[in-house]
């Protein structure tokens, strides 16, 4: 792939769309779980809010904060994807996604629900940007485990 194609692959329309118009953006008033994700080297800072129902599934997910197009789009896609999921599947989900964004196991089939995340896979050609794409997912893991410390990419 040429350098220009790599760049187009990183900034696909779906990514730019989510970066410009992030979904579920804002504070969640009745959140039961939340976590901060910080990327100290570039200053990305996201706050993820979850409302987890009594049946241990995610009823609602929102985020706020600021970051680059990749980190914001990734957080926006995350809130889309995790709503409705049971919390017990989330650890595996975070593992699958962070591994995949690092460029490993790309040939594995993705669950249909996760197919949108293919849009983020261009990031694996940009080592310095992988942590932007994984930031929100680290925060998700912290939120469901109620970790008090901010999730960081370092």
What is the contact surface with other proteins in residues (CB under 8 A)? 2-4, 6-8, 10-11, 16, 20, 41-45, 66-70, 126, 128-129, 132
Q: Is 40 left (phi over 0), alpha (psi -120 to 50) or beta?
A: alpha
Whichever of 33 and 47 has its CB closer to other proteins, that residue is 47
The β-bridge partners of 38 are 45, 152
Whichever of 83 and 102 has its CB closer to other proteins, that residue is 102
Shortest spacing between CB 83 and other proteins, in angstroms:
26
Task: Say how many Å lie between the first and final Cα of the chain, rounded.
Answer: 29
Shortest spacing between CB 74 and other proteins, in angstroms:
13
Question: Which one, of 20, 1, 19, lies nearest residue 132 by Cα?
Answer: 19
Whichever of 20 and 113 has its CB closer to other proteins, that residue is 20
């Amino acid at each position: 792939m040429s350098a220009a194609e790599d760049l187009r692959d990183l900034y696909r329309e779906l990514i730019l769309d989510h970066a410009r118009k992030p979904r579920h953006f804002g504070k969640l008033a009745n959140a039961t779980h939340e976590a901060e994700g910080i990327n100290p080297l570039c200053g990305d800072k996201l706050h993820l809010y979850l409302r987890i129902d009594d049946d241990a599934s995610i009823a609602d997910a929102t985020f706020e904060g600021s970051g680059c197009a990749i980190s914001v789009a990734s957080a926006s896609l995350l809130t889309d994807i995790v709503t409705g999921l049971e919390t017990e599947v989330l650890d595996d989900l975070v593992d699958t996604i962070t591994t995949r964004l690092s460029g490993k196991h790309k040939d594995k089939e993705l669950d249909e629900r996760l197919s949108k995340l293919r849009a983020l896979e261009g990031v694996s050609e940009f080592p310095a940007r992988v942590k932007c794409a994984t930031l929100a997912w680290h925060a998700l893991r912290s939120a469901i485990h109620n970790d008090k410390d901010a999730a960081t990419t370092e």
